[in-house]
């Protein structure tokens, strides 16, 4: 094993003294069982682990040379470790060992074990100088780490027993952990699943992100709808992170670029901050490999603090630089309605890119030693951009290579194009980032120079591909593909296009001189001039991309990603086809080899094994082993038992136990009491118009209205009891999404208190949806709604989690729904709605006034407007579903178009649920068919096709 900062074999036998001595270097190491006096208090430190290890040695079960590999901590040694941390890693008063203190001490104890594997992993990577992948993401939606960590270390039972001895239940202790507020939705959860799979599969990789102090926001649901307050996840500290004060990098904003001798550029002046590393160990499942998530926090160097201003009483001036630096990492996705908000977002993105690349390059140089060769940099480094947020790593890598390392433009551009890859997560135009050129020139002047050079390279490539004969075609290609939008062509390119080989005037004059006599060509000077003007007018080269002064000048980040990277991938089969055929069709025609599909996946450890232990035991029993936790192909075995009555009975019992837990959770969080024997119908995801929570709640309103029109007996005969559960956050400035949240909660308040309806229908909005809430809801869900407008959801990952847990999906042919339906079987997926290829035509039909709404949809809108759900004015929300044109109106997301199909499909859901044998079989087949959607499979494909890295198993 590679050398470690301390001996892994001696760690557990001396950890109590080692940790204490680390904080008190003047103390000597104590022998086992020694006592000492400090501050008039006598302590006795007894290492149970050492005693157990000695007993094993005496029995001949381990040798002197055996490492940690052969020693598994038992509950006694773990209890000793927890007690040590509760005493000597104090975050709480010493009086009582209550749950918050128990969690912190337990987490510190687990971290001790992680650090051993963590150090060993990177010592080995350094030693063999392995090629490494680096995953850059603005989000990591990690969730709670305790149960996941002890599960991956195979210490769940030992920790449960240890905590029981100390008076606590492991689940109660785990609930004390706040969710890390580092992400918002699927983008961030995917990144976290990827890290889990990378570690489990032993791939050398590292994640980079930002350490947000407050994250997105904590969501409260009040009578006014959604309210946002700052998230407090770091209030009691984060026991999983290790601050690396020795790992920091300078990051610059503003200033100017000056040219030095031999054309060398230097970026000087401006605002300087420091990015400091915080490391979070990410353990693999049943492997020593423990990789790293490095998060950056921002501050200023001490010399930047204006001490003279402070002493003069101008405290605001003294603090301004510090606050400007610190606020970069305050909030995930700060509102960008203002110039200040836009500036802050751009600062965040650049900080992530600059600090991460400086760190990556420093590691490359250290590993290379005296054999440093920049040409082989792409053979040792792969950088993956998770969506367009980290796009600035392209010009930043070029800047470092040219300005700092002294490479030429050609070398830097070539290296970058072989190092960086891009994952596209959206087809929504507003999500394909475009930044103001003016803002970027002010904030990052050197990077704009580099982006202009990349744009010029791209223009030349386009001209080489299409030539200058068909100027209309060329103009269209440049309009679609350029990185700089609404900006004149570079002068060199404009001249090349505008200058014909031989002008038409010259050609005609030459012919006339040869063929016509002087007498025949005598004309007045005035006639000559007129003739030449007419000829020039006929042969004039049309202007190419004339900027519109009324429109902003923009930098198109997605185009920069495609031009600057060597691979572009979509995240589901249908999405990747849309990327190739629509979003980036012009690029695909020019560089088809760049484009790939990598269907998303989720980790089966967190999303079945740990969050759904009841179902996991059943799967293990019927598949014959726990191999399915890593090799999800084993889930297919369940198909042959899908009709087995014993399996079905066990399956239903496990589902009901999970539903009872959900009912208890809902009562705690919302005060609503729901019946666990009703169908649990769930839609939990980010609130957005294209995800169509509005279609769901309109369907519920229709259901409620029909119930109200029936007698008690008719209602019971016609409808299956349902608990309709919503969850998700609307972005703070997204007014329409917040209206939808308000509407859902108003419908719930009316329906849930209607004595005529009773348990036949409940509508519950779960506040502050996050990973931990998902881990509670998903195992107890029976129907899950993935009903986005076709062609607008790139993939989705919650659909995969629900299917894995035996939940049946209702949805459109969108994102990963398409592949899930193929794998689970068409009969086990409730399909409705228009398909992706129809959407453009349907919108055109609407614009032409040809759409005729279904009477049932009109009925629902009128019912909402009648005020039955309270006094709130829903005219704006209902109005968005009307009209024939205008984004945000004219029902852009086709709620009205798909409504009839949706409610008819819901009738089929009711019929299927009445036959519990059929429903249970569908549930089993959904779990069996979800084998393909493990993030392990996705990571294998990234490693093979994009990063070209191999697994590295520690010796």
Check if 685 is active-site.
yes
**Among residues 482, 692, 786, 801, which one is catalytic?**
801
- Distance of alpha carbon 654 from alpha carbon 614, whole angstroms: 6
Instruction: Determine contact, residues 46/103, Cβ cutoff 8 Å.
Output: no
Instruction: Determine contact, residues 191/137, Cβ cutoff 8 Å.
Output: yes
How does DSSP assign 689-751, residue by residue?
GGGTHHHHHHHHHHHHHHHHTS-HHHHHHH---EEEEEE----TT-HHHHHHHHHHHHHHHHH
Average model confidence (pLDDT) across the chain:
89
**Among residues 452, 594, 609, 686, which one is catalytic?**
686
Q: What was the pLDDT predicted at 527?
A: 57
Check if 425 is active-site.
yes
Instruction: Identify any residues that bridge with 763 across adjacent strands, giving them in sequence order.
Output: 724
Q: What was the pLDDT predicted at 62?
A: 41
Element of type H or E holding 617: helix 613-623
**How many whole angstroms from its chain centre is CA 225?**
26
**Among residues 218, 691, 821, 932, which one is catalytic?**
691
Residue 400: CB atoms within 10 Å: 17
How does DSSP assign 239-264, residue by residue?
TT-EEEEEEEEEEEES-EEEE-GGG-
Check if 434 is active-site.
no
- Distance of alpha carbon 226 from alpha carbon 687, whole angstroms: 11
Q: How far apart are the first and last CA of the chain?
A: 6
For the segment 511-536, what is each residue's pLDDT rounded down to a tens digit?
Answer: 444 454 454 445 555 555 555 555 45
Q: What are phi and psi of 475, to 5 degrees?
A: -60, -40
**Among residues 685, 688, 762, 921, which one is catalytic?**
685
List C-alpha distances in Å: 164 to 87, 100, 159, 331: 18, 15, 8, 38
List C-alpha distances in Å: 442 to 212, 232, 255, 446, 690: 25, 34, 8, 10, 35
Check if 304 is active-site.
no
- Distance of alpha carbon 84 from alpha carbon 19, whole angstroms: 9
Helix (H, G, I), strand (E, B) or coil at 411: helix
- Distance of alpha carbon 765 from alpha carbon 752, whole angstroms: 12
Q: What was the pLDDT predicted at 72?
A: 76
Instruction: Determine contact, residues 160/102, Cβ cutoff 8 Å.
Output: no
Angle (nearest 5°) at CA 784 between 781 and 789: 165
Check if 797 is active-site.
yes
- Distance of alpha carbon 819 from alpha carbon 803, whole angstroms: 12
- Distance of alpha carbon 255 from alpha carbon 272, whole angstroms: 10
**Among residues 14, 290, 797, 927, which one is catalytic?**
797
Q: What was the pLDDT predicted at 44?
A: 40
For the segment 866-893, what is each residue's pLDDT rounded down to a tens digit?
Answer: 999 999 999 999 999 999 987 778 999 9
Instruction: Determine contact, residues 356/350, Cβ cutoff 8 Å.
Output: no
Q: What was the pLDDT predicted at 512?
A: 47
Q: What was the pLDDT predicted at 534?
A: 55
Query: What global pTM score does this model have?
Result: 0.89
Q: What was the pLDDT predicted at 428?
A: 81
Element of type H or E holding 41: strand 41-44
Helix (H, G, I), strand (E, B) or coil at 760: helix
- Distance of alpha carbon 374 from alpha carbon 814, whole angstroms: 43
**Among residues 53, 111, 144, 425, which one is catalytic?**
425
Check if 104 is active-site.
no
Block means of pLDDT (10 residues each) for the chain, 955 residues, are: 35 38 34 35 39 47 44 88 90 86 96 94 95 98 96 95 95 95 92 98 98 95 95 93 96 95 90 97 97 97 86 87 93 92 97 98 96 97 97 98 97 98 89 94 98 97 93 92 94 72 46 49 54 51 74 97 98 96 96 97 97 98 97 98 98 98 98 97 97 98 97 94 98 95 98 97 98 97 98 95 98 97 98 97 95 97 96 95 87 97 98 98 98 98 98 94
Place of tokens 């001949």: 60
Q: What was the pLDDT predicted at 305?
A: 84
How does DSSP assign 559-574, residue by residue?
HHHHHH-SEEEESSHH
Q: What was the pLDDT predicted at 318?
A: 82
Q: What was the pLDDT predicted at 14?
A: 38
- Distance of alpha carbon 694 from alpha carbon 726, whole angstroms: 11
Q: What was the pLDDT predicted at 499?
A: 56
């Amino acid at each position: 094993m590679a050398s470690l900062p301390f001996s892994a074999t001696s760690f557990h036998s001396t950890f109590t003294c080692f940790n204490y001595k680390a904080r008190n270097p003047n103390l000597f190491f104590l022998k086992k069982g020694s006592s000492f006096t400090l501050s008039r208090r006598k302590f006795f430190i007894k290492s149970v682990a050492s005693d157990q290890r000695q007993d094993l040695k005496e029995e001949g079960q381990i040798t002197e040379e055996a490492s940690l590999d052969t020693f598994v901590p038992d509950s006694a040694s773990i209890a000793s470790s927890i007690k040590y941390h509760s005493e000597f890693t104090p975050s709480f008063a010493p009086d009582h060992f209550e749950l918050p203190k128990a969690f912190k001490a337990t987490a510190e104890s687990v971290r001790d074990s992680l650090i051993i594997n963590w150090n060993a992993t990177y010592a080995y990577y350094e030693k063999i100088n392995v090629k490494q992948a680096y995953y850059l993401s603005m989000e990591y939606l990690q969730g709670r780490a305790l149960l996941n960590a002890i599960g991956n270390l195979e210490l769940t039972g030992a920790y449960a027993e240890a905590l029981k001895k100390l008076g606590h239940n492991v689940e109660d202790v785990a609930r004390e952990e706040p969710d890390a507020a580092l992400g918002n939705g699927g983008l961030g959860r995917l990144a976290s699943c990827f890290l889990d799979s990378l570690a489990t599969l032993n791939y050398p990789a590292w994640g980079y992100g930002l350490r947000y102090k407050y994250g997105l926001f904590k969501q409260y649901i009040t009578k006014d709808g959604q309210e946002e307050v700052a998230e407090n996840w770091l209030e009691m500290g984060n026991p999983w992170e290790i601050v690396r004060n020795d790992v920091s990098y300078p990051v610059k904003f503003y200033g100017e670029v000056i040219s030095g001798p031999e054309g060398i550029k230097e970026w000087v002046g401006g605002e300087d901050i420091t990015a400091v590393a915080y490391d979070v160990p990410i353990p693999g499942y049943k492997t020593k490999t423990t990789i790293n998530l490095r998060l950056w926090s921002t501050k200023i160097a001490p010399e930047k603090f204006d001490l003279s201003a402070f002493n003069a009483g101008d405290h605001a001036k003294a603090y301004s630089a510090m606050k400007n630096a610190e606020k970069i990492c305050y909030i995930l996705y700060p509102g960008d309605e203002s110039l200040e908000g836009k500036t802050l977002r751009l600062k965040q993105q650049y900080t992530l890119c600059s600090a991460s690349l400086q760190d990556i390059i420093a590691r490359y140089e250290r590993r290379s030693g005296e054999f440093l060769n920049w040409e082989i940099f792409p053979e040792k480094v792969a950088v993956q951009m998770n969506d367009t947020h980290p796009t600035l790593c392209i010009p930043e890598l070029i800047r470092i290579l040219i300005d700092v390392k002294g490479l030429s433009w050609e070398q830097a551009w070539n290296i970058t194009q072989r190092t960086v890859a891009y994952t596209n997560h959206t087809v929504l135009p507003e999500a394909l980032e475009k930044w103001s050129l003016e803002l970027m020139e002010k904030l990052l002047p050197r990077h704009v120079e580099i982006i202009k050079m990349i744009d010029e390279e791209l223009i030349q490539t386009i001209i080489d591909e299409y030539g200058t004969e068909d100027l209309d075609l060329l103009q269209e290609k440049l309009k679609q593909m350029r990185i700089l939008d609404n900006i004149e062509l570079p002068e060199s390119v404009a001249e090349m296009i505008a200058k014909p080989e031989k002008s038409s005037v010259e050609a005609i004059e030459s012919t006339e001189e040869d063929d016509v006599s002087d007498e025949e060509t005598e004309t007045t000077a005035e006639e000559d001039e007129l003739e030449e003007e007419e000829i020039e007018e006929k042969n004039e080269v049309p202007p190419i991309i004339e900027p519109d002064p009324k429109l902003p000048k923009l930098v198109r980040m997605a185009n920069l990603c495609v031009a600057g990277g060597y691979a572009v991938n979509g995240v589901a089969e249908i999405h990747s086809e849309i990327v190739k055929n629509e979003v980036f069709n012009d690029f695909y025609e020019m560089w088809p080899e760049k484009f790939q599909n990598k269907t998303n996946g989720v980790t089966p450890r967190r999303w079945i094994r740990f969050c759904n232990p009841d179902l996991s035991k059943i799967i293990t029993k019927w598949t014959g082993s726990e191999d399915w936790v890593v090799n999800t192909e084993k889930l297919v075995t369940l198909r042959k038992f899908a009709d087995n009555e014993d399996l079905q009975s066990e399956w239903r019992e496990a589902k009901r136990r999970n539903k009872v837990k959900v009912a208890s959770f809902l009562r705690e969080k919302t005060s609503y009491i729901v019946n666990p024997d009703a169908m649990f119908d769930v839609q939990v995801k980010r609130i957005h118009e294209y995800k169509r929570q509005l279609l769901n709640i309109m369907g519920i309103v229709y259901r409620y209205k029909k119930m109200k029109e029936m007698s008690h007996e008719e209602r019971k005969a016609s409808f299956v009891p349902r608990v309709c559960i919503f969850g998700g956050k609307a972005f703070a400035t997204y007014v329409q999404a917040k209206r939808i949240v308000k509407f859902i909660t108003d419908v719930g308040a009316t329906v849930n208190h209607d004595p005529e309806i009773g348990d036949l229908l409940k509508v519950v909005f779960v506040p502050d949806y996050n990973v931990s809430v998902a881990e509670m809801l998903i195992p107890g869900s029976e129907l899950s709604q993935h009903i986005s407008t076709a062609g607008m959801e790139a993939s989705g990952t919650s659909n995969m989690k629900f299917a894995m847990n035996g939940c049946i999906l209702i949805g459109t042919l969108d994102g990963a729904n398409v592949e899930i339906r193929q794998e689970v079987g068409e009969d086990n997926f409730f399909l409705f709605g228009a398909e992706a290829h129809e959407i453009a035509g349907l919108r055109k039909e609407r614009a032409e006034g040809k759409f005729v709404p279904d009477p049932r949809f009109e009925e629902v809108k009128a019912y909402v407007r009648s005020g039955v759900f309270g006094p709130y004015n829903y005219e704006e929300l209902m109005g968005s579903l009307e009209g024939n044109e205008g984004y945000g109106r004219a029902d852009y997301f086709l709620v009205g178009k798909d409504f009839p199909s949706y409610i008819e499909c819901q009738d089929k859901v009711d019929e299927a649920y009445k036959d519990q044998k059929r429903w249970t079989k569908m549930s089993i087949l959904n779990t069996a068919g979800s084998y393909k959607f493990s993030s392990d499979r996705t990571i294998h494909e990234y490693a093979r096709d994009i990063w070209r890295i191999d697994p590295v198993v520690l010796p």
